[in-house]
Every structure is written in structure tokens, then in C-alpha cells.
Amino acid sequence: MLVALGCLACGGGAAPGKLAPQSPQETLAQFMSAVKGNDLERMRTLWGSERGLAADRMKNTDLNQRLTVLQIYLNHVGYRVVEGPLPVPNKEDRRVFRVELQRSTSCTVVVPLEVARTKGGRWLVVGTDLATIPNPAAPCKA
């Protein structure tokens, strides 16, 4: 089943005491740090689309459920950007990164992560296609 964790969102700002990232690279770094720290509150301040934060358009229960799934699939002990930010065809305000995740199971997987620039110039993580990411509970494939 193809499941894309993108969202339709609008508006919003950074969490109190946290500066909004100003570049795709900063956004990715802050989001991955929040994923590693299991910080759903911080993740919600960095997740959305060109229209803004998902938190401004989604019910809290739906938002928390999606962010929890995203956190489980993207959880890592370390990561590195393999490639990016690259333009996304036919989407001027989007960029994609290929990110290598080092999982606690010693598995290494490469996943695509897309970011979008809002009308206000802020960058947010749109998400990834979960179908492209191996199940984090499954054993490593040789």
C-alpha cells in the first residue's frame, strides 16, 4: 500500500523559544533531531507543506498519529544526507533529500525526504513515501 505522509496545511510559526529554520538543510537537521529525540511537539513545528504547518489544519489526534508513524519509520541513531537538496520536478517550492538512516538494529537505509517553502519563505518537512522505507521492526536485509 502506498502511503505518503504529506499534508495540506496553512499558516503557523515556530514553537516558543525555537527559531524557525531558514533553509531546507536547517529544516531537515532540526526535524531529524526531533525524530531522534522522539520530540513530537518539535516535529509538529516543522511539518507541513507550501500552505504552512499541518498543526494549523489537522485535528490533534490525526496529527499526533501521523507524526508518531513518521517518527517510528524515520527513527535513527545517526543520519547523513547522501544527496540534496534537489529540485522536485514540476514543484518549484519543493526540494528533496536522500537521507541515509543508521538504525539501532545496525541497519542502514536510504530514504527520500521532501521539504517545501511556504509563501512566507519558511521551510517545512512534507514527508516521505512510507512504501519506500523498510519496516523498522523487520530484520536487516543483507
Domain count, the chain: 1
User: Has residue 141 been placed in a domain?
Assistant: no
User: Has residue 32 been placed in a domain?
Assistant: yes
In order along its 142 residues, the chain shows pLDDT tens digits of: 333 443 333 334 444 445 666 899 999 999 999 999 999 999 999 999 999 999 999 999 999 999 999 999 999 999 999 999 999 999 999 999 999 999 988 889 999 999 999 999 999 999 999 998 988 888 887 6
Residue whose C-alpha is closest to residue 66's, from 51, 48, 79: 48
Could you tell me the residue range of the domain that residue 52 belongs to?
24-75+116-132
